[in-house]
Amino acid sequence: MNIQENISLKNLNTFGIDVKARLFIEITSLLGLQKALGLEAYPKKFIISGGSNMLLTKDIDALVLYVNIKGVSVVEENDETLVVKAMAGENWHQFVIWCLEKGYGGIENLSLIPGNVGTAPIQNIGAYGVELKDVFVSCNAMEIETGELVEFDKEACQFGYRDSIFKQSAKGRYIITSVNLRLTKKNHALNTDYGAIEKELIHKNIVYPTIQDISNAVIKIRQSKLPDPKEIGNSGSFFKNPVISKKNFEKMLKKHPEMPHYEIDEGLIKVPAGWLIEQCGFKGIRVGDAGVHEKQALVLVNYGNASGEDILAIAEKIQTSVKKNFKIDLVPEVNIIR
């Protein structure tokens, strides 16, 4: 096994934070992963894959396993639907494109989300009215302690809003190695309700959209307000959108009648964190190379050489200010590695 020393992780995390792995190994097969997990000489291990949902704040004093296992195959098929198995190291968006080219529907609304297939279930990625769980069948994961492969079906994953068992009781115990998704071959259930998608389709005069049309619309919307991690380091939304009680919401609405909101359940209201952050005056601010995106206040950015601590300092200021002004706790969506 080719174990390297003092390897920069800058190109392996979408925030582009330049920290080093003391020891580093690239994993390209299940067997390789099993072997690496069994390396008893290196008890401390750290897993990285797409690096799209983490903020690294210091060098990693461990054996970093870079999971880069590739492969896509159809494992089940009938006239209407099929199950596609994608290995963890496949780039998510490339996988979406592959599905679109084959005419498989279900994940077109999730176009252009940074990261890899294997990390998608951890936070149940979602955008424009669709979440991974809507098409999810199961995933395979390797137990870090034993090297054993375990299957998690949809129920076992305990998906919630940007949440799953892999962020809760199973946190740090498994490495997802592949994901099975059920997609449609025809009669696609299109999700065009999200306001911005509807607008874009009308703008393009598209009355009967294809899955490719929806993907194109999503890509256009994302590009108009979310920075491309290849150009400006970021990890998408830094915080989750908070959910508050209807009682608190009604109090807030008196002061801020223009506040955007969505009722998600009886008595529970989701308020966009981006709006709260903008109200607190953070949209577009920049401190050194760390900042808040000028078009989407929920996205923290690295303009080049910011450290994880620089980004974290802004995140903490935002939390304090939102708490002071709105009495709401913002919870990070991004995994902060301290």
- Residues making contact with ligand EPU (CB under 6 A): 127-128, 236-237, 240-241, 260, 272, 274-275, 278, 283, 296-298, 333
Question: Which of the residues 49, 215, 237, 307 is marked catalytic?
Answer: 237
Largest Cα span, the chain: 63
AA letter at 28: T
CA pair distance 311, 233, nearest whole angstrom: 11
Nearer to ligand EPU, 237 or 307 (CB): 237
| Residue 138 designated active-site | no
Report in angstroms how near the CB of residue 68 gets to ligand EPU at its nearest. 22
Catalytic residue (choose from 162, 178, 215, 235): 162
Of the two residues 105 and 236, which places its CB atom closer to ligand EPU in the complex? 236
Q: How many other CB atoms sit within 10 Å of the CB of residue 222? A: 19
Q: Indicate if 333 belongs to the active site.
A: yes
Report in angstroms how near the CB of residue 200 gets to ligand EPU at its nearest. 13
Mark whether 182 is an active-site residue.
no
The rounded distance, in Å, linking the Cα atoms of 115 and 67 is 12
Closest separation in Å from C-beta 109 to ligand EPU: 8
What is the 3-state secondary structure of 40-59?
A: CCCCCEEEECCCCCEEECCC
Q: How far is the CB of 332 from ligand EPU (least distance, A)?
A: 10
Nearer to ligand EPU, 236 or 291 (CB): 236
Residues 6 or more apart in contact with residue 338 via CB below 8 angstroms? 57, 58
> 211-225 and 92-102 helices cross at what angle (nearest 10)?
150
d(CA 139, CA 145): 18
134/333 with CB nearer ligand EPU: 333
Catalytic residue positions? Answer: 162, 237, 333
